[in-house]
Amino acid sequence: MIITLKYYIYAVIVLAIDQATKWVVVKNLVLGEARPVIGEFFQITSHRNKGAAFGILQNQRWFFIVVTIAVVAGIIWYLRKMLQEGKRLLPFALSLVLGGAVGNFVDRALFGEVVDFLQFTFDLSWFGNPEYIFPIFNVADSAIVVGVGLIFLDAFLSWREEAKQGVNRGAESGDVQP
């Protein structure tokens, strides 16, 4: 029970950090205002997104609300299943995705848009382009990306372990080819 609860606590921590940082941005910056943190490279920029990643599917609020409810239900179901199987990395990854999904859900449900504020600008002059401004994002987006990366890592590690066990089983039965 306590082990299961800690993964939901991770999700709540992500949600709390996400909502707190968004609140600070909304209260202290005018929409469109940018404040440098590390020169032009990293800035806090007050931005709103009525779509998904990279601004796609603008003004589809109800679509995102319905999809997020389904995704959150699926994550909770799968998280419980993985905990029953004794997994550790995958439940942590799912808790990050869960916290991030709920963080952006809260924004969409209450305000019809997501508060984004983390902006990175890359100097690409050596490629012939003056700069590349990565799409502005938030803490929830970051948690989702890290969580998905950990899901891929868990899948890779599981695949590698299964492959190793397959070779060991083959060696025991004499089926391994030189």
Measured between alpha carbons, how far is 152 from 149 in angstroms, rounded to an integer? 5
pLDDT of the residue at 2? 60
Sequence-distant contacts of 147-153: CB under 8 A, at least 24 apart: 147/93, 147/94, 147/95, 147/96, 147/97, 147/98, 147/100, 148/93, 148/97, 149/93, 150/89, 150/90, 150/92, 150/93, 150/96, 151/90, 151/93, 151/94, 151/97, 153/89, 153/93
List per-residue pLDDT tens for the chain, 178 residues long: 566 799 999 999 999 999 999 999 999 999 999 999 999 899 999 999 887 766 666 667 778 888 899 999 999 999 999 988 888 899 999 999 999 999 999 999 999 999 999 999 998 877 777 888 899 999 999 999 999 999 999 999 999 888 888 766 655 655 555 5
What token pair was written down for 141?
């987006």
Measured between alpha carbons, how far is 101 from 18 in angstroms, rounded to an integer? 10
Q: Which of 18, 107, 141, 154 is catalytic?
A: 141
pLDDT of the residue at 51? 74
Q: Which of 18, 116, 123, 175 is catalytic?
A: 116
Assess whether 141 carries a catalytic annotation: yes
Measured between alpha carbons, how far is 14 from 133 in angstroms, rounded to an integer? 25
- Go through 55-80 and write b for each residue having 16 or more CB atoms within 10 A of its CB, e for each that does not: eeeeeebeebeeebeebbeebeeebe
What are the start-end ranges of the E strands in 14-146?
34-38, 42-49, 114-123, 131-133
